[in-house]
Amino acid sequence: MNPELLRNLWLEANPFRLSLIAGLLLLVFAASSASNIATPAGAGLALYWFFAVLWGTRSAALSVVAEIRERTWDSQKLSSIGPWAMMWGKLLGATSANWFGALLCLPFILYPPWRDSGSAAAITYGIILLALGLFAQAVALLSSLMLIRRQTGNWRLDTFLCQVAGIGAAFAYYSLWSSAGAFERTIGQTITWWGQVFNVTAFHFASLLLFLAWALTGCWRAMRAELRFANGPFVWLAWLAYLCLYDAGFESEIALRMPVLLQAGPVVMRLSLAALVPLLTCYSMAFLEPKDPVRLRWLGEQLRAGHLRQAFLVLDAWILSYGVTLVLGLALAACFAASNLSRLAFPVLAMLGFVTRDLAIFVLMRTMAGGKGDFAALAIIAALYLLMPVLANGLHLSVLGVLFLPAAQNPLGPLVSWAQGIGVAWWAARRIGASFTSR
Amino acid sequence: MIVIRDLVFEYPGHRALNGVSLAVERGAITALVGPNGAGKTTLLRCMAALETPYAGTVTVDGLDTRSSPRAIHALLGYLPDFFGLYDALSVRRCLHYAARAHGIGPDAAAGAAAKAAARAGLSDRLEQAAGALSRGLRQRLAIAQAIVHQPRVLLLDEPAAGLDPQARRDLSQLLLSLKQGGMTLVVSSHILAELEDYSDRMIIVDHGRIAGGQTITLKDAAHTRVRIVLATPRPDLPAFLHGMANIEVLADGNMRALVSLSGDASERAALLAALIQNGFAVAEFAEDARALEDVYFAQVKS
């Protein structure tokens, strides 16, 4: 057996804990059968969420965070357990007690769909619930593997944030089917994606499995990085490409929400949706990744020395996302310029300048305030986008709005935003390149 | 066994290691000493391929830590200064897991765990929970976990911190027995006294550099330093010693002398016999290990 799984089973799935869970569940189901407070299926579903998602995400996040807290992570990194085995050992081992409780709930949840809609619907619903639990836990584990690189030292906050990420991912998906009844109602409905009509249940089911596969891939790659394997940029680029394609397929949705884009045609609509993906990942990864100034200086030295391939192979995800954002953003601006919506090219170009400025703010704050700099950067960026335009308007200086927001029909917008972007980036580069102080 | 060239390691804002070059000899115990914050832990982590250098190279048994970190991990055992144990697991399970985690198969893991426990003197504690062990026994368990796969290199960061005198003595004996088994050990500490018993070589780290720029030999297997003290002064003692073949006189006087001769015991016996035959009232004739503290301060001052 995978040694990491075995160790986790020793620690987490001890007979006392499992007996306690089984006894508790027995009492809950007996009480729900004997009263009108909740049906056994409803109680089972609530308990499944508790075991697999609420508590499961905490267990998954703690599987790594606790190793660091208890100072056992170094010895694990030095072990010969590979990243794949380590990932599954933690993902299934640390959550073994949770899965024990969750699996005991499944028969109570699946009995009504089996009775009313047949075994196929019950099996599909069961697989969805299992995949959903695993997805939430994988997202929590992935978040923890990313957060530990920031070395915050605040394990409670880290665990909570990872738990929130996992629960959020599960809820985002489950909101499509808010209950078992809604799940049954979606059978027969359709969804349009890339112009093709799909059964909504099958589409959501396939989406869940694909996102689960990506979450597991992310965990595996983050674990590889922890165990000192070289990762390279290509899987991250593939993930971005997948997200862009997935997102761009919903052009009929954006046409409903932003009908003005209909004038630019389906290509621009799809490009607009695709460009949102690297833009959002830019910001999220810039916040999550450490942006170590020493590493950035080393990267700069590699670039100056002409070692482009070596530098490209170790680029951080936020830098890769920024590159993709620039490419898609410029393509989008070019498309707008060539269409009868040419006025929209300016805000797109201005937005790219603002993204450059914001990422540079993240790096700059990191060099100034270490790990806490990311929160300072968020506050500064929020102030620039939310407070400053209001202030400018309040002072009847709405002309200054171009300094803070991408403005349509203002050719100065791109110049102003890029001037800010280049200025802050130059400042950040100066800080990164500043000479060290010897102890 | 370990060769480091021009190693530079930086944390944001300061350079922890600045152009460190050194070599750790195979089969020896090398002490890594220096004040708190000198860079010892960072240096050990670079040796363990847990950190990537900013510049320079670290090779362990010919493998580069940048290109082959996982192969290096398989070669070594590492005990951090603040180590952790799985407190809820028994000593047996801790060691069994460590053996399995280091690639020992399920059939051989129990034997490897028992052997490591025996080497660390924990055979009678196998069923005790790790969390119930004393500080000294926890240290032993952590070392047992680090050696369960019989690594070729063992890196120990402040292993004697917080141990009582008896536990320190036990640790010294354990480290010497590992060295006799052919293991290469690097032991860091800022307490010199605890290293004196077992170290062959010493590397002084100060402000991210190697003080003196080289490894200092404390115990030379090929030569022995012998301290001679007479009961009564003899002005001809220096001349007598300088006239002896195969002896290097390191310090001399009317009553005291320090000589270096080959490690062969028969040569020492011959020297003692010659002194007595020539009427020297030998009050003391003993091997003189260099006092670590003297060497340390001499090197740091230089």
Contact yes or no for A414/A326 (Cβ under 8 A): no
Look at residue B155 in the predicted model and tell me its pLDDT: 95
Tell me if ipTM is over 0.90.
no
Give the best residue of B8, B9, B10 to mutate against chain A (max A CB count within 10 A).
Answer: B10
* Closest CA–CA distance from residue B220 to any residue of chain A (Å): 32
Look at residue B115 in the predicted model and tell me its pLDDT: 92
Query: First CA to last CA across chain A, in angstroms?
Result: 47
Kindly state whether residues B112 and B248 are assigned to the same domain.
no
Query: What long-range pairs does A79-83 form, CB within 8 A, spacing at least 24?
Result: A79/B73, A79/B98, A79/B101, A79/B102, A80/B70, A80/B73, A80/B74, A80/B101, A80/B102, A80/B103, A81/A2, A81/A3, A81/A4, A81/B101, A82/A227, A83/A220, A83/A221, A83/A223, A83/A224, A83/A226, A83/A227, A83/A229
Task: Please name which of B278, B232, B223, B274 lies closest in space to residue B250, comparing C-alpha atoms.
Answer: B223
Q: Do B100 and A6 touch (CB under 8 A)?
A: yes
* A224 or A433, greater pLDDT: A224
Look at residue A159 in the predicted model and tell me its pLDDT: 87
Query: What long-range pairs does B57-64 form, CB within 8 A, spacing at least 24?
Result: B57/B3, B57/B4, B57/B5, B57/B6, B57/B7, B58/B2, B58/B3, B58/B4, B58/B7, B59/B2, B59/B3, B59/B4, B60/B1, B60/B2, B60/B153, B61/B1, B61/B2, B61/B152, B61/B153
Kindly state whether residues B140 and B265 are assigned to the same domain.
no
Rounded-to-10 torsion of CA A274, A275, A281, A282: 160
Taking contacts as CB-CB distances below 8 angstroms, the residues of chain A near B16 are 439
Kindly state whether residues B102 and B143 are assigned to the same domain.
yes
Contact yes or no for A94/A8 (Cβ under 8 A): yes
Look at residue A53 in the predicted model and tell me its pLDDT: 94
Query: What long-range pairs does A407-411 form, CB within 8 A, spacing at least 24?
Result: A407/A346, A407/A347, A407/A350, A408/A343, A408/A344, A408/A346, A408/A347, A409/A343, A409/A346, A410/A346, A410/A350, A411/A346
pLDDT per position as a tens digit, A275-289: 999 999 999 999 988
Question: Which residue type is seen at A77?
Answer: K
Taking contacts as CB-CB distances below 8 angstroms, the residues of chain B near A369 are none
Contact yes or no for A58/A159 (Cβ under 8 A): yes
Task: Please name which of A16, A3, A167 lies closest in space to residue A90, comparing C-alpha atoms.
Answer: A3
Q: Give per-residue burial for A136-150: e unless 16+ CB within 10 Å, then b.
A: bbbbbbbbbbbbbeb
Taking contacts as CB-CB distances below 8 angstroms, the residues of chain A near B10 are 294, 436
- pLDDT above 90 covers a percentage of chain A that reads 50
Q: Do B106 and A438 touch (CB under 8 A)?
A: no
pLDDT band at B290 (very low <50, low <70, confident <90, very high): low
How does DSSP assign A308-348, residue by residue? HHHHHHT--HHHHHHHHHHHHHHHHHHHHHHTTTGGGHHHH
Phi, psi of A264 (to 5 degrees): -85, -10
Question: Which residue type is seen at B259?
Answer: V
Look at residue A435 in the predicted model and tell me its pLDDT: 54
Query: Which chain A residue lies closest to B93 (C-alpha atoms)?
Result: A7
Q: How far apart are CA A333 and CA A411, in angstroms?
A: 13
Q: Do A439 and B39 touch (CB under 8 A)?
A: yes
Closest by Cβ to B10, choosing from A72, A370, A436: A436
Task: Give the H or E element holding residue B66.
Answer: none
Q: Is A80 exposed, middle or buried (0-12, 13-18, 19+ CB in 10 A)?
A: middle
- What's the average model confidence in pLDDT over A49-71? 93
Kindly state whether residues B208 and B232 are assigned to the same domain.
no
Cα three-residue angle A261-A266-A271, rounded to 5 degrees: 80
Please indicate if any CB of chain B lies within 8 Å of the CB of A433. Answer: no
* Closest CA–CA distance from residue B33 to any residue of chain A (Å): 17
Which is it for the CA torsion A130, A136, A138, A140, positive or negative? negative
Taking contacts as CB-CB distances below 8 angstroms, the residues of chain A near B77 are 78
Q: Do B97 and A3 touch (CB under 8 A)?
A: yes
Strands B14-24 and B2-11: antiparallel
Rounded-to-10 torsion of CA A169, A171, A173, A174: 150
**Count of pairs with CB atoms under 8 A, one residue in A, one in B:** 97
- Non-local (6+) Cβ contacts of A84 within 8 A are A220, A223
Phi, psi of A195 (to 5 degrees): 80, -5
pLDDT per position as a tens digit, B84-123: 999 999 999 999 999 999 999 999 999 999 999 998 888 9
Cα Rg, chain B, nearest whole Å: 22
Last residue of a domain, one of B217, B232, B264: B217
Query: Which chain B residue lies closest to A80 (C-alpha atoms)?
Result: B102
Query: Which chain A residue lies closest to B109 (C-alpha atoms)?
Result: A3
Q: Do B11 and A294 touch (CB under 8 A)?
A: yes
- What's the average model confidence in pLDDT over A108-119? 88
Q: Is A284 exposed, middle or buried (0-12, 13-18, 19+ CB in 10 A)?
A: middle
| Domain that residue B257 falls in | 223-301
* A119 or B217, greater pLDDT: A119
3-class state of residue A408 by DSSP:
coil
Q: How far apart are CA B283 and CA B295, in angstroms?
A: 26
Give the best residue of A6, A228, A291 to mutate against chain B (max B CB count within 10 A).
Answer: A228
H-only helix segments in A261-292: 266-288
Q: How far apart are CA B188 and CA B26, in angstroms?
A: 17
Question: Could you say which residues from 367 to 396 on chain A have a Cβ atom under 8 Å away from some Cβ of chain B?
Answer: 367, 370
* Closest CA–CA distance from residue B218 to any residue of chain A (Å): 28
Give the best residue of B9, B100, B107, B147 to mutate against chain A (max A CB count within 10 A).
Answer: B100
- CB count within 10 Å of CB B196 equals 17
Q: Do A75 and B78 touch (CB under 8 A)?
A: yes
Question: Could you say which residues from 236 to 295 on chain A have a Cβ atom under 8 Å away from some Cβ of chain B?
Answer: 292-294
Enter the tokens of residue A141.
Answer: 């584990």
Look at residue A438 in the predicted model and tell me its pLDDT: 41
* Closest CA–CA distance from residue A437 to any residue of chain B (Å): 5
Please indicate if any CB of chain B lies within 8 Å of the CB of A298. Answer: yes
Kindly state whether residues B121 and B53 are assigned to the same domain.
yes
Q: Do B49 and A79 touch (CB under 8 A)?
A: no
How does DSSP assign B228-278, residue by residue? EEESS--TTHHHHHHHSTTEEEEEE-SSEEEEEEES-HHHHHHHHHHHHHT
Taking contacts as CB-CB distances below 8 angstroms, the residues of chain A near B13 are 436-437
Please indicate if any CB of chain B lies within 8 Å of the CB of A16. Answer: no
pLDDT per position as a tens digit, B237-271: 988 888 887 788 877 788 888 888 876 788 888 88
pLDDT per position as a tens digit, B139-182: 889 999 999 999 999 999 988 877 788 888 888 888 888 898 88
Contact yes or no for A114/A31 (Cβ under 8 A): no
Last residue of a domain, one of B159, B190, B217: B217
Contact yes or no for B170/B10 (Cβ under 8 A): no
Structural domains of chain B, count: 2
Q: Do B10 and A294 touch (CB under 8 A)?
A: yes
Q: Is the pLDDT of residue A439 over 70?
A: no
Enter the tokens of residue B86.
Answer: 């799985």
Please indicate if any CB of chain B lies within 8 Å of the CB of A8. Answer: no
Contact yes or no for A3/B82 (Cβ under 8 A): no
Q: Measuring CA to CA, how many Å separate B186 from each of A216, A329, B205?
A: 39, 54, 13
Kindly state whether residues B251 and B160 are assigned to the same domain.
no
Look at residue B302 in the predicted model and tell me its pLDDT: 61
pLDDT per position as a tens digit, A304-342: 889 998 899 989 999 999 999 999 999 999 998 888 788
- What's the average model confidence in pLDDT over A238-261? 83
Q: How far apart are CA A277 and CA A273, in angstroms?
A: 7
Cα Rg, chain A, nearest whole Å: 25
Kindly state whether residues B51 and B153 are assigned to the same domain.
yes
Taking contacts as CB-CB distances below 8 angstroms, the residues of chain B near A77 are 50, 73
Q: Do A294 and B146 touch (CB under 8 A)?
A: no
pLDDT band at B207 (very low <50, low <70, confident <90, very high): confident
Kindly state whether residues B131 and B275 are assigned to the same domain.
no
Query: Which chain A residue lies closest to B83 (C-alpha atoms)?
Result: A71
**CATH for B114:** 3.40.50.300
Q: How far apart are CA A238 and CA B25, in angstroms?
A: 46
- What's the average model confidence in pLDDT over A355-361? 96
Q: How far apart are CA A431 and CA A362, in angstroms?
A: 12
Residue with token string 């916040």: A287
Please indicate if any CB of chain B lies within 8 Å of the CB of A81. Answer: yes
Least confident of A30-44, A295-309, B16-30: A30-44
**CATH for B228:** 3.30.70
Look at residue A142 in the predicted model and tell me its pLDDT: 95
Last residue of a domain, one of B166, B185, B217: B217
pLDDT per position as a tens digit, A148-196: 888 777 788 888 989 999 999 888 887 765 544 455 555 567 788 888 8
Question: Which residue type is seen at A122?
Answer: A
Closest by Cβ to B207, choosing from A74, A77, A438: A438
Kindly state whether residues B45 and B176 are assigned to the same domain.
yes
